[in-house]
Amino acid sequence: MNTSTTKRARPRPRCPLHPKEYCTMCQYGVTGPSDCPVARFATADYDGRLEWAKQWIARREAVGV
C-alpha cells in the first residue's frame, strides 16, 4: 500500500466554550481554539471558568445527561 496517496482525516478541534460542538472558527482569522481570542479570554479568567463550569453542570443535570 502506498502511504503517499492515502488520505487521513484531520482532527476537528472542539470549542472550549461549547464542549460538545466543534470549533466553527467564528472569529475572523483564527485557525482553531488555540488562537481564538474569545476562547483565550474566557479560559484565562479562573473565576469565570469556574462559574461557567457550574452552570454547564447544572444545565446537564436539568436535561438528565
Give the total residue count for the chain: 65
List the pLDDT tens digit at each of the 65 positions of the chain. Answer: 555 667 788 788 888 777 778 888 888 888 888 888 888 887 788 888 888 888 888 988 898 86
In a domain, residue 34? The reply is yes
Separation CA 20–CA 58 (nearest Å): 15
Domain that holds residue 17: 12-63
Would you state the cell numbers that stand for residue 22, as one nine-digit string? 466543534
Kindly report the CA angle at 42 between 63 and 32, in degrees rounded to 5?
90
Let me know: does 20 contact 12? Beta carbons within 8 Å.
no
In a domain, residue 5? The reply is no
In a domain, residue 4? The reply is no
In a domain, residue 28? The reply is yes
Let me know: does 45 contact 28? Beta carbons within 8 Å.
no
pTM of the predicted model, to two decimals? 0.51
